[in-house]
Amino acid sequence: DNDALLEVGETWGYTAKHTVTQAEIDSNGGGDGALENVATADSNQTGPDTDDASVPVDRRPSLNITKDATVPGGTADAAGEQISYVITVANTGNTTLDGVTVTDPYADAGSIMRGADIVGDNDGLLEVGETWGYTAKHTVTQAELDSNGGGDGLLENVATADSNQTGPDTDDANVPVQQRASIDIEKYVSIDGGATWEDADDPMGPIATSGANVMFKFVVANTGNVTLTNASVTDSVFDLNGAAAGTARALGTLAVGASTEFQITAPWTVGQHVNDATASGTYSGGTASDHDLAYYYGLIDCVGTRTPGFWLSPNGLTFWDGTVGNETKSGPEFADGELLAFNNGITDGPDPGNSNKEERYILLGDYNGNGVTDVGEDTLKMSLALALKVIDASQKPSQDARYVLGRDVIAAWLNFEAGNGAGGALDPNSPTAKMNQAIDWLQQYADANHDGVADFNGPAIKQNTAAWQGSGAGLHTALDEYNNHGTINGVAYSCSADDHLFVTMLTRFHEDTLA
């Protein structure tokens, strides 16, 4: 009845509260897993009476680790580059944690550093709700780039956090690998035996005169960020490895930034030369390759062959009309002067200034140019008037093949006399050999009385006869090629004055020589 006397039969009620402390949870309720509370009742008339109430302690120790990575440019693409990691460890449970550790086998030795608590009091205990911060670094290795991060294109890094109260927790941070495989080849040309080198990537390149010691230098460099294995060089023209052109020359392994070089001496060739060198190397992602062109112009000692049409033209005719000094053209691609007077000497002919063309002649096969047939020479004399008739393409009576070959040999002889190379008589395919054979053929079919003077009397030789088909046709083909291109069967004995590139290079060479 609330009269403050606990009368017989009465029951009083009380309430009480206890605020759980972190220490109680941390101690697991003193060690037995329960929070025990004893209440005591007493009065003036009795002794004390007690009763307890126990509440189980629910400890939930937990931590969480997170890891993030940053790298310049967003990718791992250079050995020695550093990846920076930010690691956080948070107490996500209800129990204070001690003995907290962070391990990372991928981090550089000694690079894991704990900073100030992100949330906390820096007392060395990872208390409930606290978050600790760490930093770490990893230095990218060449092996990691070469293997493309072990093959999956990622540098994967796992960090582990642990404590005395929890099991371990892990988190990873991945950085993509960027392989930039690159190889560079530079090919240099030397026309002076290696004293100087030119990176001649474009036509026409340096001018190499006949007989020049032409050399090529190949410089190969690994310009990428991965090691290249099985590196090699091939060339479109030259043998680099003791076999045919295009056979690879092995270079082995090229480390990043490494380079190697080698040289070869190549046979000189006439005209515009170009060859293409290709370097390649393999890496885990495939093959890297590069190529480089090298040019030079092989300038043969010549003034340039001319066709029969040129020698009959007003410009060409002035070089072999027997009149000295009336030449209308000059330059490195033209003869130096009168060919008829100079090369035949007019020893038993008219004075060069004589206007009577009937008395002027050419002496085919007169290689020393003295105007007479010397011992050992096989010549055929032809008056200028007849030579002009023969070389005129329109003057081939009844399609007489003698005029076809006569036209060829006259132009070839004038080309030789003008200063063009014609090879030697011992070379059966040379212009000299072909002219000698043509002279013999004309002696048989165009010198009716066999007095060494061409007259083109006697029966015409048709192009379907054995006389022509047996040898004349082949001589025509060879000498026609020489007159048009300076070659026979593709072999250069001279050069063509109708080749614009040749004329350009010849002029440049003479200008450089005079400079």
pLDDT in tens, 13-23: 999 999 999 99
Q: Taking 70 as the threshold, does the pLDDT of residue 357 lie above it?
A: no
Q: Taking 50 as the threshold, does the pLDDT of residue 345 lie above it?
A: no
User: What is the rounded distance in angstroms from the CA atom of residue 413 to the CA atom of residue 405?
Assistant: 12
pLDDT tens-digit map of 253-267: 999 999 999 999 988
Q: Taking 70 as the threshold, does the pLDDT of residue 142 lie above it?
A: yes
* pLDDT score at 513: 65
Q: Taking 70 as the threshold, does the pLDDT of residue 343 lie above it?
A: no
Query: Does residue 74 contact residue 176 with C-beta atoms inside 8 Å?
Result: yes
Q: Which band of pLDDT confidence, cut at 50, 70 and 90, is reported for residue 506?
A: confident
Query: Does residue 344 contact residue 361 with C-beta atoms inside 8 Å?
Result: yes
Query: Does residue 40 contact residue 50 with C-beta atoms inside 8 Å?
Result: yes
Q: Phi-psi category of 421—alpha, beta or left, where left has phi over 0 and alpha has psi -120 to 50? A: beta
For the domain covering 63-176, report its CATH number. Answer: 2.60.40.740
pLDDT tens-digit map of 211-243: 788 999 999 999 999 999 999 999 999 888 766
List helix spans (H) across 67-171. Answer: 142-146
**DSSP tag of 496:** B
* pLDDT score at 337: 80
Q: Which band of pLDDT confidence, cut at 50, 70 and 90, is reported for residue 432?
A: very high
Q: How many other CB atoms are found less than 10 A from the CB of residue 117?
A: 16
CATH 2.60.40.740-classified regions of the chain: 63-176
Mean pLDDT, rounded, of the chain: 90
User: What is the rounded distance in angstroms from the CA atom of residue 131 to the CA atom of residue 110?
Assistant: 22
Q: Taking 60 as the threshold, does the pLDDT of residue 349 lie above it?
A: no
Name which of 188-192, 319-323, 327-331, 430-434 the model is least confident about: 327-331
Query: Does residue 408 contact residue 306 with C-beta atoms inside 8 Å?
Result: no
457-482: average pLDDT: 95
User: What is the rounded distance in angstroms from the CA atom of residue 332 to the CA atom of residue 223?
Assistant: 46
Nearest of 136, 119, 130, 43 to residue 92 by alpha carbon? 130
pLDDT tens-digit map of 52-102: 999 999 999 999 999 999 999 999 999 999 999 999 999 999 999 999 999
* pLDDT score at 243: 61
Q: Which band of pLDDT confidence, cut at 50, 70 and 90, is reported for residue 515?
A: low
Q: Taking 50 as the threshold, does the pLDDT of residue 353 lie above it?
A: no
Distances from the Cα of 78 to the Cα of 71, 183, 289, 395, angstroms: 11, 16, 20, 79
| % of residues, the chain, pLDDT over 90 | 72
Element (H, E) at 91: strand 82-91
Quick one: tokens of 493?
A: 């004995």
How are beta strands 214-222 and 183-190 bridged, if at all? antiparallel
* pLDDT score at 355: 47
* pLDDT score at 351: 46
Nearest of 438, 442, 482, 477 to residue 458 by alpha carbon? 442
Q: Which band of pLDDT confidence, cut at 50, 70 and 90, is reported for residue 341?
A: low
Q: Taking 90 as the threshold, does the pLDDT of residue 476 lie above it?
A: yes
CATH 3.40.50.300 fits 183-299, yes or no: no
180-184, 235-239, 456-460: which is most confident: 180-184
- Amino acid at the residue 139: T
Q: Which band of pLDDT confidence, cut at 50, 70 and 90, is reported for residue 344?
A: very low
Radius of gyration of the chain (CA): 51
Nearest of 434, 377, 411 to residue 420 by alpha carbon? 411
Concatenated DSSP letters of 146-191? HTTGGGTSEEEEEEEEE-SSS--EEEEEEEEB-----EEEEEEEES
Quick one: tokens of 148?
A: 């493309």
pLDDT tens-digit map of 154-176: 999 999 999 999 999 999 999 99
36-50, 395-409, 501-515: which is most confident: 36-50
Q: Which band of pLDDT confidence, cut at 50, 70 and 90, is reported for residue 380?
A: very high
Q: Taking 60 as the threshold, does the pLDDT of residue 465 lie above it?
A: yes
Q: Report pTM.
A: 0.71
CATH 2.60.40.10-classified regions of the chain: 183-299
